[in-house]
Structure 1
Amino acid sequence: MTYQVHIIGGGLAGSEAAWQLAQAGVKVRLSEMRGSGDMTPAHQTDGLAELVCSNSFRSDDADRNAVGLLHAEMRNLNSLIMAEAGKAKVPAGSALAVDRDAFSAGVTRALAEHPNVEIVRERIDALPSFGLTIVATGPLTAMGLAESIGAATGEEALAFFDAIAPIVHRDSIDMDICWMASRWDKVGPEGDGKDYINCPMNKAEYLAFHQGLLDGEKTEFKQWEKDTPYFEGCMPIEVMAARGLDTLRFGPMKPVGLDNPRTGHWPWAVVQLRQDNALGTLWNMVGFQTKLKHAAQVELFRTIPGLEKAEFARLGGLHRNTFIQSPKLLDRQLRLKKTPHIRFAGQITGCEGYVESSAIGLLAGRFAAAELAGNAIAPPPLSTALGALLGHITGGATADSYQPMNVNFGLFPPMDEKVHKKQRKEAMTSRARAELAEWMAEIA
């Protein structure tokens, strides 16, 4: 197939960009190295849009949560990622979580069946010298292409470490000790207020566990890796533990809002597991990203009440992520300033999170389609979730201070009028909806 846009990378951003272009009538070549004999350190399959860490797209509350608002905006723009997430969703309270295999299969099928998309299993080792291109290779970009990007930008890529949480077989969890509940019994879409498995810890158990995190054998860094920072949103649990004795009790192991039905009280600490597949046979340990060595993980995590006989479908791991200095290198259309036939999308731009990566892929696809049609479109307003995220990536921070960022209301411009703090989020989402509707009407 003769193509008009070349997309490099079949993750969330690349898949979304391909869909937006294809739906606009543009012929797309989607190059994905997985399936060609190459694999990244974190992926396990050759499926498009494979989720390598959590299976959660986070809050689906579009009235009071910035990422929920981003969900809604993407749905309004016919996002493939959000459509397939809806089809593959599993109970997760007010969050949107998916069966990762069903989700990836749905995205792969939709693109494979689209007449405007050609999926090619190949590794691209250099940036194309001509032709509209979207680079969406993510934080695990192959070395050859990474070097080509470095040569094209004249800048070193920033880097940080990302960790993966373990997944447990449901039938190995002792439900005589654990119980099902969502925090404060909150009921989300298609949930019942009992969407998480909760493992209770008393004070002595928590203190022993905390010490075990500090003492456990961990992955060793090479010398050049030692000064590379972590992204706060995927902080390994043992790194959090080192920050203080109660850090975990105010973070991923907080017990508030979780009454143990056997005692009628909140435990001292709680380990939560979230459903990972539609069958409910696999559950991931929420917030338990880790760089502990595998044997140390099994030994320590089996000291958690209810997980004494836990069988792990996947243990935690650590990989190195890279991203470019987008505020310095990209324009507001996500084009590389030095070579504007190339756009970047997804985590390689420095956005963080599944939804955010997909959203930037959506925008890159729409920008490229408009450029081909001779109708360049303005970026979405900064008061929308899409616009706020794009603004952060392309100019919301200096290159020296630029760090991966999830979408949040701190990226949005403040309200013009006086709004009480309790009504601020609702007011910002109302403003975002109105301005997104105006923008969509303009680009139609």
Structure 2
Amino acid sequence: MPTSLPVHVIGGGLAGTEAAWQIAQAGVPVILSEMRPVRPSPAHHSSELAELVCSNSFGAKESDRAAGLLQEELRRLGSVIIHTADHHAVPAGGALAVDRGVFSQALTLQLAHHPLVELRREEVTSIPSEGIVVLATGPLTSPALTDSLQQLTGLDYLSFFDAASPIVVGESINYDLAFFASRYDKGEAAYLNCPLNKEQYLAFREALCQAEQAELKDFERETAQFFEGCLPIEELARRGEDTMRYGPLKPIGLFDSRLGDFRDPANRDKRPYAVVQLRQEDKAGQLWNMVGFQTNLKWGEQKRVFQMIPGLEQAEFVRMGVMHRNTFINAPQLLSPTLAFQKRPHLLAAGQLIGTEGYAAAAAGGWLAGTNAARLALGQEPLTLPETTMMGALFHFTSSASPKHFQPMPPNFGILPELPQRIRNKRERYGHYRDRALADLSQWQHSHDLALQVARA
């Protein structure tokens, strides 16, 4: 049944701004609540909507790159964020970058002057119990609203400090060196293991100790002190020569069966001195997480040092390790691919709060949550995007990944379903992913054309 109540969007970042715009463009009244400037944020510098906090770049703009494909999908779906970014773009080589002050001001004016948008400068301290609501409060969700969300779900679901390990594309791993094994051959050989001899281990440890770290912001530094049990790999390296070997690089019980029987004393010298383990990140086994490798090293340093690990010499990283303030929900336990809460279909979420990373990904979540909120208000069924599109793959991942090991994910080709044919050339392979995604998006738009026209009437 259609509702006469306005949809309530909480949070005026990229996701909330996009969601509010899509709802209003569908002809549905929307209340957009943003706590700034009533309650300042430790990361923001203005009270404008959609402020770009970290950089002015949306990433690579070519559509055969993951970020660029996501931008192109949003462009074709009428994203106000991408449209405004295109309009206020500045030279940045192969990236889509904007004049961030003008960009945010333009979006603030657009939303403030839309006849169906009511912009409220207020802190929302609890999730409304009635009506259709979109949560888009980002990684700096206020403590009061965080408590409300935790009470709603009843889960210990939030990561207040995102200590995440790098994720590697499976195709880029050297399987001549890496081997599948479980410790002492117990259970399924679910881990991929990269063995190091003593010389390799000591060189790797020295590189970790000397690598350059990223600076934490003041408010992140305050939070980091609570994570003694989740130390960065470089800190473990500094604590002693063997600390990593008794921690995440423990070699005990791990042996490459291709070298013989691990129980044979004759194979004692073949046992690794240390082992880096990788855990499967997605159902298809296209992505692998470096177990225990949360790190605060700069991204370029991570790539340089981690490619010293045997088997990862040519590793392609879809996300680097991070340690920063980042509140996000355990989306696979809570959300459907429509971005609605499974147990409360009229409550939706978008942006970094659901475990996506990047400006374009935030806008994508805002587009889908806003579109589906409007459809719910109009008495229509919510939409699910094709998994072969970057948007669809991203939200399929956030709703179906392992809840136990869920970490935020940026757009990347590793989450897309595999192509029917194997293509070794990476640029050519990505081009095929793009062509399939855009063709399927076009067909999907056509199949929903009547419904979308109604929703936007």
Matches of 1:11 and 1:144, distance apart in 2: 18
**Structure 1 pair 329/249, CA: closer, same or farther in 2 (3 Å)?**
closer
Whether 1:118 aligns to 2:123 is no
Aligned to 2:438: 433
Q: Which structure has the greater CA radius of gyration?
A: 2
Picking from 358, 362, 368, the partner of 1:363 is 368
Q: What's the CA shift for 1:425? A: 1.2
Aligned to 1:39: 40
Aligned to 2:335: 330
Aligned to 1:412: 416
SS in 2 for 1:158: coil
Query: Which amino acid is 1:66 matched to?
Result: A
Q: What's the CA shift for 1:235? A: 6.5
Query: Which amino acid is 2:108 matched to?
Result: T
Query: Which amino acid is 2:354 matched to?
Result: T
Task: State whether residues 56 and 97 of structure 1, in contact with CA within 8 Å, keep that contact through their aligned partners in structure 2.
Answer: yes
Aligned to 2:127: 127
Within 5 Å, which residues of 2 pair with 1:206-285? Answer: 213=212, 219=221, 223-227=225-229, 236-237=296-297, 247=305
Matches of 1:91 and 1:374, distance apart in 2: 44
Task: State whether residues 55 and 99 of structure 1, in contact with CA within 8 Å, keep that contact through their aligned partners in structure 2.
Answer: yes
Deviations 1:149-190 (A, max 9, x none): 001111123326479xxxxxxxxxxxxxxxxxxxxxxxxxxx
Matches of 2:429 and 2:211, distance apart in 1: 42
Query: Which amino acid is 1:28 matched to?
Result: V
Q: What's the CA shift for 1:100? A: 1.2
Matches of 2:117 and 2:84, distance apart in 1: 17
TM-score scaled by length of structure 2: 0.66
Unaligned 5+ residue runs, structure 2?
Answer: 164-205, 233-288, 309-320, 450-457
Aligned to 1:256: none
Matches of 2:429 and 2:162, distance apart in 1: 33
Task: State whether residues 356 and 406 of structure 1, in contact with CA within 8 Å, keep that contact through their aligned partners in structure 2.
Answer: yes
SS in 2 for 1:323: coil
Aligned to 2:157: 157
Task: State whether residues 211 and 297 of structure 2, in contact with CA within 8 Å, keep that contact through their aligned partners in structure 1.
Answer: no
**Structure 1 pair 228/144, CA: closer, same or farther in 2 (3 Å)?**
farther
Matches of 1:408 and 1:79, distance apart in 2: 20
SS in 1 for 2:327: strand
Deviations 1:242-285 (A, max 9, x none): x69x54999xxxxxxxxxxxxxxxxxxxxxxxxxxxxxxxxxxx
Matches of 2:143 and 2:161, distance apart in 1: 16
Deviations 1:306-337 (A, max 9, x none): xxxxxxxxxxxx95211000011012221112
SS in 1 for 2:418: coil
**Structure 1 pair 228/358, CA: closer, same or farther in 2 (3 Å)?**
farther
**Structure 1 pair 229/368, CA: closer, same or farther in 2 (3 Å)?**
farther
TM-score scaled by length of structure 1: 0.67
Q: What's the CA shift for 1:374? A: 2.4
CA RMSD of superposed structures (Å) = 3.4
Aligned to 2:11: 9
Whether 1:386 aligns to 2:388 is no
SS in 2 for 1:49: coil
Task: State whether residues 160 and 229 of structure 1, in contact with CA within 8 Å, keep that contact through their aligned partners in structure 2.
Answer: no
Q: What's the CA shift for 1:377? A: 4.1
**Structure 1 pair 162/41, CA: closer, same or farther in 2 (3 Å)?**
farther
Picking from 352, 358, 361, the partner of 1:353 is 358
Whether 1:375 aligns to 2:376 is no
Q: What's the CA shift for 1:391? A: 0.6
Deviations 1:112-132 (A, max 9, x none): 111110100010111111100
SS in 2 for 1:324: coil
Query: Which amino acid is 1:49 matched to?
Result: A
Aligned to 2:404: 400
Matches of 2:445 and 2:95, distance apart in 1: 27
Matches of 2:136 and 2:154, distance apart in 1: 19
Whether 1:424 aligns to 2:429 is yes
Aligned to 2:23: 21
Q: What's the CA shift for 1:372? A: 2.0
SS in 2 for 1:343: strand
**Structure 1 pair 30/61, CA: closer, same or farther in 2 (3 Å)?**
same
Aligned to 1:54: 55
Aligned to 2:84: 84
SS in 2 for 1:45: coil
Within 5 Å, which residues of 2 pair with 1:91-102? Answer: 91-102=91-102
Matches of 2:447 and 2:70, distance apart in 1: 19
Identity of aligned residues (%): 42
Aligned to 1:285: none
Query: Which amino acid is 2:70 matched to?
Result: L
Query: Which amino acid is 2:54 matched to?
Result: C
Matches of 1:112 and 1:421, distance apart in 2: 47
SS in 2 for 1:119: strand
Matches of 2:418 and 2:214, distance apart in 1: 45
**Structure 1 pair 228/52, CA: closer, same or farther in 2 (3 Å)?**
farther
Deviations 1:42-88 (A, max 9, x none): 111111001111111000001x2111011001011110100111122
Task: State whether residues 50 and 107 of structure 2, in contact with CA within 8 Å, keep that contact through their aligned partners in structure 1.
Answer: yes
Unaligned 5+ residue runs, structure 1?
Answer: 164-206, 251-288, 291-317
SS in 1 for 2:326: strand
